[in-house]
Chain A
């Protein structure tokens, strides 16, 4: 590693070798990154080994023995076999993916639509902008509680629906499986469309205006301009926002846990809620460790692929518009 860096360094054309910050501060730099490295080691290395170890036993916190002696119930890969035959787990994974597949595109379309409305200036733009960002600032657990209130059968959601439909709507949102799932997705869309809006707007504003004006002069219609000029220059932004949302949606926990506890039944049980229930109701910590580890491996693999993809996207973009958006690393 170190040798590679030195080689890279010496390859750089250095006009002023005596005042090279990088060379003079190498020692200080090593010292400066030390706390971060120690924290990483603390939270990754040891816990990871422990997770691998425990996941190959039947150990649980109520066994009466310390986790150190978990080897007494060593079972090698039994937990991983259980993993593949655990219907509840797969249902939870499928549900999480379903929520992701419905919520993220909705957020994207709504966010993009709103962002296009904000590209040029209009009176009140700043105020509306701040208002639209409010939902994502609300603490997720509080949002979950808020919507728990709103979706009560005598709550405001039914009230508004009643007014709109001129009838007496009395839906028990959080007690009917499909409605509860819809409610949870609605909350996710409510809370995170602002994030998509915010980031896409930044991307839209970075599209060079002269190119747009030139296209307009040449008679390109709005859809044409959007497809031919805006969209290609927003590749990075769009990729980033979708990856961000997918990762966060996969982690989804706070809102559903407060709002529905995964219920009714298991209708809104995401992977995180399922793991929580296994941890505290089932107390099968070794099995939870196995689930966690498997997810870890899969997500890491996806992350590597994702990073490659991002790099590729950024390179394409750099070729097209070198100065508009700076992709980092």
Chain B
């Protein structure tokens, strides 16, 4: 009995450890690559080393200033614009999705209006964005929304609406109505009840929803690729600009940028770990 327990325990650590190593290796590789000087990532060398022999911040300097003495090349556009674009559009998109989603979720959950809204909103998530983007691109061009921060924020707000709506709806459904009804008896209008009674009760779920939706918006690639051209491209789209025929693959610079793009979702994701299952399944499963 005891021996088999030890054996099982060791086996578990072996498997879990192996899975963890596989999960982390690619990320670690990119992180170390970001600190390698040019000599250590040019394609001329036979075997790439795992750890930077001479760690440097050159790659980070390069992507944000456009030049670094040891990197030989210069780019005319830095990552500052795309970083701001990613941040602004993901944030505004999140605000749109969460405000509109929360209001609608409360309406559906409490007042029994728009009963077909949940499913029609969910449908937004079903189709490959590429398959339905043609009319959106034409419409965006017509309305002058291509390559603007408001255009990108708007579409982000729309495509993440299903998540904010469904998440908040399940949170509202979980909330007992008695408190709200008591406030109503006291003479509050339904709107005051929502503002003063309900919203304070869902602070934590609301924060979770905000972070979750932000991660989704920050992670987008396809939409920014289609709806931005130059001024408001986001970080993932800008990464393409770091490999041209002239400069070759800028491994180090790309890794530095990739690291910067990867950090916010990982950190935020750990923060909202408790609610991840609920978020990813549109509220269908609660942990």
- Which residue of B has the minimal Cβ distance to A40? B120
Q: Mark B265-280, 1 if CB is under 8 A from A, else 0.
A: 1100110010011001
| Known A28-B191, A142-B258, A272-B128; contact A114-B117, beta-carbon cutoff 8 A | no
The answer on a CB contact under 8 Å between B115 and A21 is no
Indicate if the CB atoms of A21 and B158 lie closer than 8 Å. Answer: no
Q: Kindly state the separation between the CA atoms of A54 and B136 in the bound complex, as whole angstroms.
A: 12
Question: Considering only CB atoms, which chain B residue lies closest to A61 in the complex?
Answer: B138
Closest residue of B by beta carbon distance from A327: B284
**Interface stretch among A80-88, A197-205, A212-220, A225-233?**
A197-205
A43 to B162, CA, bound (A): 13
Q: Do B132 and A296 touch across chains, with their CB atoms under 8 A apart?
A: yes
Q: Are A19 and B185 closer than 8 Å at their CB atoms?
A: yes
Q: How far is the CA of A285 from the CA of B136 in the complex (A)?
A: 12
Pair B221/A114 contact, Cβ less than 8 Å: no
Report if A178 contacts B (CB, 8 A): no
Q: Is the CB of B23 within 8 A of A132?
A: yes
Q: Is the CB of A25 within 8 A of B190?
A: yes
Q: How far is the CB of B196 from chain A (nearest CB, A)?
A: 14
A-B pairs with beta carbons under 8 Å apart, 22 shown: A5-B115, A19-B182, A33-B107, A33-B117, A37-B114, A39-B100, A40-B124, A54-B135, A114-B19, A134-B23, A141-B239, A145-B254, A150-B29, A152-B43, A154-B46, A155-B48, A236-B285, A271-B131, A272-B129, A272-B131, A292-B133, A296-B127
For B111, B123, B125, B184, the residue with the greatest tally of chain A CB atoms inside 10 Å of its CB is B111
Q: Is B73 an interface residue (CB 8 A)?
A: no
A140 & B130 in contact (Cβ 8 Å cutoff): no
B25 interface residue per 8 A CB criterion: yes
Give the chain B neighbours of A152 by CB distance below 8 A: 43, 48
Give a binary string over A172-191; 1 marks a CB under 8 Å from any B CB, 0 the rest: 00000000000000000010
Q: Distance in Å from the Cβ of B191 to the closest Cβ of chain A?
A: 6
B19/A299 in contact, CB under 8 A: no
Residues of chain B contacted by A141 (CB below 8 angstroms): 219, 221, 236, 239
Instruction: Find out whether the CB atom of B101 lies under 8 angstroms from the CB atom of A36.
Output: yes
Expressed in whole angstroms, the Cα–Cα distance for A251 and B24 within the complex equals 25
Expressed in whole angstroms, the Cα–Cα distance for A192 and B129 within the complex equals: 19
Q: If the complex has contacts A33-B117, A133-B276, A195-B280, are A247 and B126 also in contact, measured as CB distance less than 8 A?
A: yes
- The verdict on A328 contacting chain B, using a C-beta distance below 8 Å, is yes
| Contact between A33 and B258, CB atoms less than 8 A apart | no
Known: A50-B139, A325-B285. 9 other contacts (CB 8 A): A26-B111, A36-B100, A40-B117, A54-B135, A138-B27, A139-B218, A141-B239, A199-B280, A328-B173
Residues 204-263 of B contacting A (Cβ, < 8 Å): 215, 218-219, 221-222, 225, 236, 239, 251, 254-255, 258, 261-262
Beta-carbon contact of B135 and A29 below 8 Å: no
B135 touches A156 (CB 8 A): no
Query: A47 an interface residue at 8 Å Cβ cutoff?
Result: yes
Looking at chain B's contact residues, is the secondary structure mostly helix, strand, loop, or mixed? Answer: helix
Within 8 A of B (CB), among A280-310: 285, 288-289, 291-292, 295-296, 299-300, 303, 307
In the bound complex, residues from chain A placing their C-beta under 8 Å from that of B284 are 236, 240, 327-328
For residue A272, which residues in chain B have a CB less than 8 angstroms away from its CB? 128-131, 222
Assess the A296–B131 pair: CB atoms within 8 A.
yes
Q: Which secondary structure dominates where chain A touches chain B?
A: helix
Within the assembled complex, what's the spacing in Å between the Cα atoms of A150 and B193?
Answer: 55
Q: Is the CB of B114 within 8 A of A117?
A: no
Least CB distance, B103 to chain A, in whole angstroms: 4
Closest-CB distance, B198 to chain A (whole angstroms)? 10
Interchain nearest-CB distance for A314 vs B (Å): 9
Q: Is the CB of A328 within 8 A of B170?
A: yes
Task: Kindly list chain B residues whose C-beta atoms are within 8 Å of the C-beta of A101.
Answer: none
Distance A19 CA – B276 CA, assembled complex (angstroms) = 36
Judge whether B35 is part of the interface by a CB distance below 8 angstroms: no
Do residues A254 and B221 form an inter-chain contact, with CB atoms below 8 A? yes
Picked from A30, A39, A50, the residue with its CB within 8 Å of the CB of B157 is: A39
Which has the most chain B C-beta neighbours within 10 Å: A42, A137, A285? A137
- Contact at B20–A138, with CB atoms within 8 Å? no
Contact partners of B225 in chain A: CB under 8 A: 257
CB of B163 closer than 8 Å to a CB of A: no
